[in-house]
């Protein structure tokens, strides 16, 4: 007679299974001993498949005939262990399929080996490049990366920073230098190392590893002016919550004076594409568009092509960033290259050194460079 299975006991719970089921291990309420039965016919029941319990460090120690401390030294590569002993421990680890617990290591060492990065968005491929280089460098230093987005909202950034610190990150990478009022108090109270990227400011209290955004804007404007352009439309994202955009605009102003029309919009290709029709309707349409981000430069190019306005013969375009797509469009978009990948590598290396060795980094400036392609014509 097949017993009525009234309740699962442990792992692998499945409820309301089909009327006919073939199983090998089930358990009855109050029993830890599996019953080997086949061909169960019950319209509704619970079963518990007793899996092999996960090995822990004590199991490995017993199997290898050593102490728990010796296993920890082998796993964490700390302290000296005789070659024969290490071989026995590693053999036990393999036989038991033991995986060290990150939580246990954190408790024993006082370190999580986790770092956090706060970026404005994941929609822009420039941040994908940046995060890829960050992660690669952190991994080479034995650190894991956790990412959170801020949408350029200082309050949200503070909340995300607090959440990351709460789960135990040992350091933070942030973008720009403008923070919510409680950010500095948070990182000081928790003694959390922080490095600011995408902005170089030697006067910042937080180490900055990035580029001079004002120089980037000035470089793009001077290039257009040097090619004879005097009527310039500047496409840019919101300035109220982005210190990098504000700095780039200052650079444009220093080079062009009042000889440009600023057009603010969300940092999306579609918005730049729509903005093109507005500037073309002006009494004197611009001869060039300076986009403070390549994302907007792409939108400007697509908008002009949709309006059947030839680039660069009628309107020239220059961007800032040097996204991969900018080299693939027709024509290729001239732009100011920002060394984002190197910035990620340098920032990750500096933060890892700060966390692991206590060496606070100095400010580091990365220089932007002009990339000439086919989207600007000399007048």
Name the strand (E) or helix (H) holding 233. strand 232-236
Specify the pairing of strand 232-236 against strand 288-291: parallel
Among 53, 83, 85, residue whose Cα is nearest residue 69: 85
Same fold, 57-109 and 114-211+341-368: no
On the question of a cis peptide bond just before residue 331, with omega within 30 degrees of 0, the verdict is yes
Per CATH, which fold does 114-211+341-368 belong to? Rossmann fold (3.40.50)
- Domain 213-337, CATH: 3.40.50.2300
Are residues 141 and 351 in contact, defined by beta-carbon separation less than 8 angstroms? no
- pTM (two decimals): 0.77
CATH 1.10.260.40 fits 57-109, yes or no: yes
Specify the pairing of strand 208-210 against strand 194-197: parallel
User: Which value, in Å, is the radius of gyration of the alpha carbons in the chain?
Assistant: 30
Tens place of pLDDT for every residue, the chain, 379 residues? 333 333 333 333 333 333 333 333 444 443 343 443 343 334 334 444 445 678 888 999 999 999 998 988 888 777 789 999 999 999 999 999 988 776 666 666 667 899 999 999 999 999 999 999 999 999 999 899 999 999 999 999 999 999 999 999 999 999 999 999 999 999 999 999 999 999 999 999 999 999 999 999 999 999 999 999 999 999 999 999 999 999 999 999 999 988 899 999 999 999 999 999 999 999 999 999 999 999 999 999 999 999 999 999 999 999 999 999 999 999 999 999 999 999 999 999 999 999 999 999 999 999 999 999 999 999 9
Domain ranges in the chain are 1-51, 57-109, 114-211+341-368, 213-337
């Amino acid at each position: 007679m097949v017993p009525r299975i009234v309740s699962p006991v442990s792992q692998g719970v499945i409820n309301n299974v089909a009327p006919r089921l073939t199983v090998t291990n089930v358990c009855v309420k109050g029993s830890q001993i599996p019953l080997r039965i086949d061909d169960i016919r019950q319209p509704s029941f619970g079963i518990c498949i007793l899996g092999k319990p996960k090995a822990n460090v004590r199991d490995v120690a017993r199997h290898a005939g050593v102490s728990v401390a010796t296993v920890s030294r082998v796993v964490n590569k700390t302290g000296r262990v005789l070659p024969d002993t290490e071989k026995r421990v590693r053999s036990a680890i393999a036989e038991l399929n033991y995986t060290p617990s990150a939580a246990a290591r954190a408790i024993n060492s006082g370190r999580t080996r986790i770092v956090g990065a706060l970026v404005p968005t994941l929609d822009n491929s420039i941040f994908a490049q940046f995060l890829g280089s960050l992660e690669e460098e952190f991994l080479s230093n034995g650190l894991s990366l956790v990412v959170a987005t801020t949408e350029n909202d200082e309050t949200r950034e503070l909340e995300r920073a607090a959440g990351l610190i709460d789960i135990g990150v040992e350091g933070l990478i942030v973008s720009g230098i403008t923070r919510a009022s409680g950010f500095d108090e948070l990182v000081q109270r928790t003694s959390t190392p922080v490095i600011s990227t995408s902005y170089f400011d030697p006067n910042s209290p937080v180490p900055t590893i990035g580029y001079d955004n004002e120089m980037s804007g000035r470089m793009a404007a001077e290039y257009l002016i040097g090619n004879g352009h005097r009527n310039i439309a500047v496409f840019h994202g919101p300035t109220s919550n982005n210190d990098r955009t504000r700095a780039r605009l200052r650079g444009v102003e220093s080079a062009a004076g009042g000889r440009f029309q600023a057009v603010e919009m969300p940092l999306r290709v579609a918005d730049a594409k729509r903005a093109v029709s507005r500037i073309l309707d002006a009494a004197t349409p611009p001869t060039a568009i300076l986009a403070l981000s390549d994302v907007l430069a792409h939108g400007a190019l697509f908008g002009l092509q949709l309006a059947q306005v030839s680039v660069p013969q009628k309107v020239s375009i220059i961007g800032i960033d040097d996204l991969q797509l900018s080299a693939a469009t027709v024509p290729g978009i001239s732009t100011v290259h920002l060394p984002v990948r190197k910035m990620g590598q340098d920032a990750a290396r500096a933060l890892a050194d700060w966390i692991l060795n206590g060496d606070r980094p100095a400010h580091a400036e990365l220089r932007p460079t002009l990339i000439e392609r086919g989207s600007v014509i000399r007048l």
